[in-house]
């Protein structure tokens, strides 16, 4: 983290009301083939508890080819001033992307895919919050729809950061939360990354809940609440609880 970047503060409470605040990516050796990457991966190891402010692989289209870039999770807009107090959103609502100054131009120019093998969400049961892990039945890689931006400090230091887009829920996700990340189908990935100029209405066609049979879910350990914990045990079912 650069010294200049530390001076861009987070507004108090900006990170509180978010969903999709943890995800997992362990099939890193499959990134190149799954997303048709033309350059090799960049030394990223498997992570089972990816948290905001971490550096992670993101897929972008450059000169008509897919490439991996390392980015920080939590969007810092390119127009942010050094020392400015502002949020660094880890999520962006699909329904309002074209209305928000932070996202409007990024929707046109800076779309990306965020690779993952699964993500966590919490269900409130009385006074408790139970973490659940959503993943494909075969645990294969998939992608979230994302946006990214590049911030340049007065000293010339560069920070590239991203946010994950959320939408309304499907029936599976509705049992846990009222929002879900946009999990793209293969055709949706191609449309989202395509350099062909698309209208916001066209892009909204892919920013929808995935089908109910795309993902499975089970309860996991409360250890996921601690960002410092990061191992394969994070994703294992607990208490015999499978489906919600």
- Tens digits of per-residue pLDDT, 50-67? 999 999 999 999 888 999
- Which positions of the chain have pLDDT values less than 70? 1-19, 40-41, 83-84, 240-244
Per-residue pLDDT, 131: 96
Q: What is the pLDDT of residue 77?
A: 92
Give residue 206's Cα distance to chain centre.
16
Q: What pLDDT digit, counting tens, does each position of 96-141 carry?
A: 999 999 999 999 999 999 999 999 999 998 899 999 999 999 999 9
- Distance in angstroms (rounded) separating the CA atoms of residues 143 and 130: 24
CA-wise closest residue to 115 among 95, 93, 133, 140 = 140
- b/e burial code for range 147-169 (CB count within 10 A of at least 16 → b): bbbebebeeeeebbbbbbbbbeb
- CA 16 to each of CA 11, 62, 106, 113, 237: distance values in angstroms, whole numbers, following the listed order: 11, 34, 24, 24, 26
State residue 164's pLDDT score.
98
118-125/47-50 β-pairing = unpaired
> What are the start-end ranges of the H helices in the chain?
3-6, 31-34, 104-109, 171-174, 186-193, 200-204
Q: Which pLDDT does position 106 carry in this prediction?
A: 96
| The predicted structure's pLDDT at residue 184 | 98
Both tokens of 184, joined, read 């793209």
Q: What local confidence, expressed as pLDDT, does residue 197 receive?
A: 73
Residues in the chain: 244
Cβ neighbourhood burial of 123 (10 Å; 0-12, 13-18, 19+): middle
> Per residue in 58-67, is it b (16+ CB within 10 Å) or e — as a string?
bbbbeeeebe
Cα–Cα distance, 154 to 151 (Å, whole number) = 10
Residues belonging to the active site: 20, 121
133 forms beta bridges with: 120, 218
Nearest alpha carbon to residue 225 among 130, 144, 89, 91: 130
Q: What is the pLDDT of residue 206?
A: 96
Return the pLDDT at 196. 84
């Amino acid at each position: 983290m650069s010294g200049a970047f530390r001076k861009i503060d987070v507004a108090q409470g900006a990170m509180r009301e978010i969903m999709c605040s943890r995800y997992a990516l362990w099939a890193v050796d499959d990134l190149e083939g799954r997303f048709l990457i033309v350059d090799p991966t960049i030394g990223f190891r498997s992570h089972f508890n990816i948290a905001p402010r971490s550096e992670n692989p993101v897929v972008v289209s450059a000169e008509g080819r897919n490439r991996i870039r390392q980015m920080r999770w939590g969007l810092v807009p390119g127009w942010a001033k050094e020392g400015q107090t502002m949020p660094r959103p880890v999520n962006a609502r699909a329904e309002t992307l074209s209305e928000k100054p932070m996202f409007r131009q990024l929707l046109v120019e800076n779309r990306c895919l965020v690779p993952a093998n699964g993500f966590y969400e919490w269900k409130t049961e009385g006074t408790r919050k139970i973490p659940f892990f959503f993943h494909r039945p075969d645990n294969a890689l998939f992608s979230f729809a994302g946006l990214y931006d590049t911030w340049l400090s007065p000293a010339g230091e560069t920070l590239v950061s991203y946010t994950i887009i959320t939408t309304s829920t499907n029936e599976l996700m509705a049992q846990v939360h009222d929002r879900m990340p946009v999990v793209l189908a293969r055709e949706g990935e191609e449309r989202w990354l395509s350099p062909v100029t698309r209208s916001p209405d066209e892009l909204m066609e892919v920013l929808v809940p995935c089908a109910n049979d795309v993902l499975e879910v089970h309860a996991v350990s409360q250890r996921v609440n601690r960002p410092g914990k990061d191992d394969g045990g994070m994703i294992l079912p607990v208490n015999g609880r499978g489906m919600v």
